[in-house]
Structure formats: structure tokens, C-alpha cells
Structure 1
Amino acid sequence: MDSAPATTRAEPTFRDATDDDVPVLVRLVESAYRGDASRAGWTTEADILQGRRTDADGVREVLATPSGRVLVVEQEGVPVACCQLEHRGKAAYFGMFAVTPQLQGAGLGKVIIAEAERTAREDWGVGEMHMTVISVRHELIAWYERRGYRRTGELTPFPYGDERFGVPQRDDLAFELLVKEL
């Protein structure tokens, strides 16, 4: 039985982000969610939001949060993904999750979210992970549900008029809280 060897990617490594990572993190988050480049992956928000998703000041603000951290995910020394974790009492918040569009759909996201959950549980002893997702992102919410997250129905209005969050292309946007028991 002749078969070609399977192509494998290097296992991802995780490290805490530093201020030196800010430009890379901004590019990574923008590439995963906004503009035509984001359409190479499935997490794009380009049809519902234009403008920026984040900027250097926003990333620095997340990095400076005393109760949080940003994980940089690398393959062969190259940053390919990131996520934010923040300790909030009995829960952790999961945000700023981005995987470079060319690697989306290959299983890396599952690995990252599992590592984020493990980290929050072991480092902070929390019993839940919380996140917010734009409520019209049905495919993304379904992906999180397959990972054990549940919709709460708790909605927070989208900050219309605040271009730090993008320029909405529709008038029905809100953030929904998703929760998973760890």
C-alpha cells in the first residue's frame, strides 16, 4: 500500500504577549475579522462591520489589564493566533480570539480554546468561561456550542456610533453572552 506521507504542521506553542507583540496582534485580529483578506477564513465580519476591529491602543489596554493576559499562539516561531483571558471573580472572560485566515478550519481553534479553558481553570480556579459574540454570527455561535458553550439570551447593545468597534452595516447587532462550565 503506497501512500504519500501526511503533511503535518508543527504543534502550536503558547506564550504570554508583551508590548512588543502589539503590532503583530493588531494585524492578526484585523486579518481574521475585517476587510477582504478576512474572507479567506470563515470568521470574517466583513459583511456586517467595516472599519477596524482593534488598534494598537486597544491591544495595549487589554495587555495592561492586571487581571488578564493575552496568549500568543505560534507555529514554528511565527504568531498565528491569539486570545485574551481575564479573571473576573468566579469566571474567566475569553476574548480577542483570532486565528490567521489561512489556518482557519484546520482544528487550531479547538486546540486554542481548550488551552485557554485549561489555563483559566488551573491558574485562577474558575468554574466558568464567559464570552460575548455578535448575536447574528450564527455559524460562529454554533461552533462555540459544539465546544460546550451555551447561549444565555443575555444581550448587550452594540455600541453604534463608536467606530472603535467598527462601522455597522446593519441595525440589528448586539452582543450575546455565552457561558461554559469548566
Structure 2
Amino acid sequence: MDHSGTRTEADPTFRAAEVTDVPELVALVESAYRGDASRVGWTTEADILDGQRTDPEGVRAVVEAPGSTLLVVERDGRIVACCQLEHRGEHAYFGMFAVRPELQGAGLGKVIIAEAERRVRAQWGAREMHMTVISAREELIAWYERRGYRRTGKTSPFPYGDERFGLPKRPDLEFELLVKELAGA
């Protein structure tokens, strides 16, 4: 929005993903995390993982799952980002967060995560947002910490041997649970 409160073309719009969005969403997630294209942005996992980040079946499952929304973010009619929101009782899960590499670092991620938090409070009465991040991703964890998420020290193993999640380049990968209490829930 501009300073008068009027919506501008550059402002993102949000909607639930549809099955027809799956191919474009897979390409978006892959571009944000894998391969040389991902190196344009700062969220790349190319130094720790090869292979795919997701696949059409995985994205379709999130789109179709009850109690789950794959939130699509558009700017000027073009998909520029997405994130998964899943209702899990008193908390919601935030995942599959991807922003086009060339748009990373310009503040769009902050807008998206704030909208995601607002939606899970309003739709599901969620009191907390949970997410898992590869613990080796210190810069990414620090970004979430600046947004109010805290490290819990609770970890879960990386699915070594399951190529659907990528091909690890190092033996010490694990996921750490990050949690944020949501005000007003």
C-alpha cells in the first residue's frame, strides 16, 4: 500500500493454491533452494543439498490436505512466493516457504510471515506457529529469530536415503523446531 493506504500494484496478494498451480509452485520452491538459480537469493541450500527440494506429488498433497493451506503470494498477477500453513490443534505449522530468488532480501518475506501468522490466528485460533529448519542454516534461523521465533533445541533427523528430500552433501543434517507464540490468539 502507498502512504495514503491505497493498494498499489506492487503489493502482494494472497490466495489458497489450487491443483493447477502445482507445476509453477514446484518450480518456485526448487528455484529458491536448489541449484545455481537459487544462489541469486540468500535462502539457497545448494551448498548442503543436491537433488530436489520437493516434487509435484508432495506439493499436490499439501494443496489437497484437509486442515492445510498452501498460501500463494502474487504480485502483478505472477506467483512470487508461497508457504504452507497446517492446522495442528493449538498450533499451526509453517513450511514450504519460498520466495523467488531475485526478490529475496527486499522485505517480502517479512510481509508473508506476518500474513501467515495473522491467518492462522484468525482461521484456526492458533496460539503458536511451529516450523522446522535445517539446524546448519544459521543465517536462516537468525532471520526467523529476528521475527520472534525461538530455537527449542528439539531436533528430528534428516531423512537420509530418501531422495524426495534431496541428496545431502554432509553427514550432520537435522531439523530443529522453532516456535513463536502468537499474540492475540
- CA distance in 1: counterparts of 2:15 and 2:21, whole angstroms: 11
Could you say what secondary structure the match of 2:179 adopts?
Answer: strand
Please list, as runs of the form range in 1=range in 2, the aligned pairs for 1:74-153 lying within 5 A after superposition: 74-153=74-153
Q: TM-score, normalised by structure 1?
A: 0.95
- The one-character-per-residue Cα deviations of 1:127-150 (angstroms, maximum 9, x if unpaired) are 000000000000000000000000
- The residue type paired with residue 67 of structure 1 is G
- CA distance in 2: counterparts of 1:9 and 1:60, whole angstroms: 29
User: Considering only aligned residues, what root-mean-square deviation do their CA atoms show, in Å?
Assistant: 0.9
Please list, as runs of the form range in 1=range in 2, the aligned pairs for 1:33-112 lying within 5 A after superposition: 33-112=33-112
Task: Spell out structure 1 runs of 4+ moving beyond 2 A.
Answer: none
1:172 equivalent in structure 2? 172
- CA distance in 1: counterparts of 2:97 and 2:52, whole angstroms: 15
1:30 equivalent in structure 2? 30
- The residue type paired with residue 83 of structure 1 is C
How far is the alpha carbon of 1:80 from its aligned partner?
A: 0.2
How far is the alpha carbon of 1:126 from its aligned partner?
A: 0.8
**Between 58-67 and 23-32, the greater mean CA deviation after superposition:** 58-67
- CA distance in 2: counterparts of 1:83 and 1:100, whole angstroms: 12
- CA distance in 2: counterparts of 1:33 and 1:9, whole angstroms: 27
- CA distance in 2: counterparts of 1:121 and 1:54, whole angstroms: 27
Q: Give unmatched runs, 5+ long, in structure 2.
A: 1-7
- CA distance in 2: counterparts of 1:177 and 1:147, whole angstroms: 15
How far is the alpha carbon of 1:108 from its aligned partner?
A: 0.1
Percent identity for Structure 1 against Structure 2:
75
Could you say what secondary structure the match of 1:148 adopts?
Answer: coil
Q: TM-score, normalised by structure 2?
A: 0.93
- CA distance in 2: counterparts of 1:166 and 1:71, whole angstroms: 23
How far is the alpha carbon of 1:64 from its aligned partner?
A: 1.5
How far is the alpha carbon of 1:122 from its aligned partner?
A: 0.5
Aligned residues: 175
- CA distance in 1: counterparts of 2:9 and 2:161, whole angstroms: 42
How far is the alpha carbon of 1:9 from its aligned partner?
A: 6.8
